[in-house]
């Protein structure tokens, strides 16, 4: 299996709706599975797509399925994922593949605006292609007279949530970014970057609207309550709001949003360490369901070593920088870290959160879904907000809940400064290789452990990896091709 990327020239100016048309078949277990029919994508007139409840719901379903279908090259999981590439960029992974772009460029923090051949195939094109699809769904269902009110509200809520989700990753990866809320390609072709506060304003507005529209329960495409946690509900909007409030320093709001989820014990609870990443885990606030038959996650295929890293299939292992920060007795070190020993001398550690690494195995049941939002993060969000607000006891209590699950004793941190350092450490060992958490935490940290201290101090991580750190590189470069075709887009400093 070769993980080299397929260069995609999807641009902000997409003019047609690209939708995956799906049907749901009820398996013997009662779980609904995504089944692909005919070609994976079709160009369908909006009037047809939004002519009834089933096809309108399929428009949103198609976006989730595309996120998983793109897993081999896309930003959700696998070789092109935010979790993997930003793990290389930070201090989580060691790269052994020095040939296949963009692995070494991310690893040595040496990206350029033309990395990947000018049509920057990491993140940007996928983010804005999916934003176009989301806006198409909003416009289509909003203008439909055939979709019933309940389904229309659910679809609009899901679409607004997804628009916020995509803008969130865009602003954290690139800084000021275009806010795209329309399918007007003439406007999108010449759109400018908006300041970070404006982007967050849009994100918060969309999430607040989504909260009000979405069901509190998990529902399927028909709006029926289900055990499947694969469509965003109001809890998903609340979870992302809690993170956004944390990132923007709105401590009271972050604490309140996280508390809403933590107190909803009828839907959410911490799972066992080996149960967290299973399908429909009690800890899951939102998961992505595998969309390829007889397949679990690309993350497991990428990370779980069956040969020494360095081949095209296994480009990386866990870094010593991460391994060395696990405390003695931390069960995450044993349950979420695997070891591959090709001989009596060499050994390699790898992420083992997802354990089913076989792909297209007809005898393989789908038991693992890709985790996007989970409850443990909400405890750590609330702990951090409480520490910022001076609630020492509350911060300690929430931090200790996560530590206790990992088999660790209570924290010794007892003031805001030491607690914030302890929480950052806990996030490092709890959320490693998940959706770029470590990279974003280092960027937003104002304490002694921040992106420049980790990457740029003497003997720094970037230097260890063979690179030279530039403080501008906390943000990614905009693709050269996008700047060439849109004169209103300006490059990030340092590129």
Q: What's the token pair of residue 368? A: 């693992």
Please, are residues 455 and 443 in contact by the beta-carbon 8 Å criterion? Answer: no
- The structure tokens listed for 116 are 């990947």
pLDDT given for residue 66 in this prediction: 87
CB atoms within 10 A of CB 196: 16
| Inter-residue contact 314 to 307 (CB < 8 Å) | yes
- Given a contact cutoff of 8 angstroms between Cβ atoms, the answer to whether 341 and 29 are in contact is no
Which H or E element spans position 373? strand 370-374
Contact in structure between 285 and 374 (CB atoms under 8 Å): yes
pLDDT 10s per residue in the chain (495 long)?
344 333 233 333 333 333 333 323 222 233 333 222 233 333 345 567 888 999 999 999 999 988 887 655 689 988 999 999 999 999 999 999 988 888 999 999 999 888 654 334 579 989 999 999 999 999 999 988 899 999 999 999 999 999 999 999 999 999 999 999 999 988 988 999 999 999 999 999 999 999 999 999 999 999 999 999 999 999 999 999 999 999 999 999 999 999 999 999 999 999 999 999 999 999 999 999 988 777 899 999 999 999 999 967 899 999 999 999 999 999 999 999 999 999 889 999 999 999 999 877 788 889 999 999 999 999 999 999 999 999 999 999 999 999 999 999 999 999 999 999 999 999 999 999 999 999 999 999 988 889 999 998 877 899 999 999 999 999 999 998 899 999 999 999 999
Q: Which numeric CATH code is attached to 18-291?
A: 1.25.40.390
Q: Rounded distance, CA 217 to CA 233, Å? A: 6
Query: What is the distance between the alpha carbons of residues 244 and 377, in angstroms, rounded to a whole number?
Result: 12
Range 249-257, long-range pairs (CB < 8 A, 24+ positions): 249/388, 251/385, 251/388, 251/389, 252/385, 252/389, 254/381, 254/382, 254/384, 254/385, 255/382, 255/385, 255/386, 255/389, 257/381
Q: How far apart are CA 23 and CA 451, in angstroms?
A: 45
The 8-class DSSP code of residue 72 comes to: G
pLDDT at 37: 27
Supply the pTM of this predicted model. 0.91
- Sorted by where each begins, the domain ranges of the chain are 18-291
* The two structure tokens encoding residue 358: 């076989």
Kindly state the DSSP code that residue 358 receives in the 8-state scheme: -
Total H helices, total E strands in the chain: 20, 10
Quick check: 315 and 327 in contact, CB under 8 A? Answer: no
């Amino acid at each position: 299996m070769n993980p080299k990327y397929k260069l995609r020239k999807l641009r902000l100016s997409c003019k047609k709706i690209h939708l995956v048309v799906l049907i749901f078949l009820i398996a013997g277990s009662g779980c609904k599975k995504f089944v692909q029919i005919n070609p994976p994508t079709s160009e369908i007139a909006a009037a047809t797509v939004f002519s009834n409840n089933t096809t309108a719901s399929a428009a949103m379903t198609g976006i989730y399925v595309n996120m998983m279908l793109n897993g081999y090259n896309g930003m959700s999981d696998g070789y092109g994922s935010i979790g993997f590439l930003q793990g290389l960029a930070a201090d989580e992974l060691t790269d052994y593949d020095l040939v296949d772009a963009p692995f070494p460029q991310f690893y040595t923090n040496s990206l350029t605006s033309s990395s990947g051949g000018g049509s920057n195939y990491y993140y940007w094109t996928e983010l804005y292609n999916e934003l176009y699809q989301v806006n198409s769904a909003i416009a289509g269902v909003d203008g439909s007279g055939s979709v019933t009110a309940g389904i229309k509200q659910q679809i609009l809520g899901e679409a607004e949530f997804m628009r916020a989700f995509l803008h969130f990753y865009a602003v954290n990866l690139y800084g000021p970014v275009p806010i795209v809320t329309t399918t007007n390609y003439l406007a999108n072709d010449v759109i400018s970057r908006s300041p970070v506060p404006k982007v967050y304003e849009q994100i918060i507005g969309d999430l607040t609207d989504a909260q009000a529209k979405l069901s509190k329960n998990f529902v399927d495409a028909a709006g029926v309550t289900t055990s499947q946690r694969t469509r965003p509900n109001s809890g998903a909007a609340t979870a992302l709001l809690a993170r956004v409030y944390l990132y923007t320093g709105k401590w009271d709001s972050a604490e309140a949003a996280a508390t809403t989820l933590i107190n909803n014990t009828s839907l959410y609870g911490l799972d066992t360490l080996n149960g967290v990443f299973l399908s429909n885990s009690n800890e899951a606030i939102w998961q992505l369901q595998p969309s390829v038959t007889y397949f679990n996650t690309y993350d497991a295929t990428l990370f779980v070593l069956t040969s020494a890293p360095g081949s095209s299939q296994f480009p990386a292992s866990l870094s010593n920088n991460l391994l060395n920060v696990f405390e003695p007795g931390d069960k995450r070190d044993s349950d979420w870290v695997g070891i591959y020993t090709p001989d009596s001398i060499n050994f390699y550690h790898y992420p083992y959160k997802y354990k089913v690494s076989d792909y297209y195995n007809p005898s393989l049941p789908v038991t693992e879904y890709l985790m996007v939002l989970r409850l443990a993060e909400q405890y750590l969000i609330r702990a951090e907000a409480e520490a910022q607000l001076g609630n020492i006891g509350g911060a300690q209590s929430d931090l200790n809940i996560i530590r206790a699950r990992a088999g660790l004793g209570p924290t010794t941190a007892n003031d805001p400064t030491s607690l914030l350092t302890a929480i950052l450490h806990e996030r490092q060992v709890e959320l490693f290789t998940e959706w770029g958490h470590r990279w974003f935490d280092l960027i937003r940290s104002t304490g002694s452990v921040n992106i420049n201290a980790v990457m740029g101090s003497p003997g720094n991580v970037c230097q260890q990896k063979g690179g030279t750190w530039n403080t501008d590189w906390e943000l990614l470069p905009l693709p050269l091709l996008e700047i060439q075709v849109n004169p209103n887009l300006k490059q990030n400093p340092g590129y």
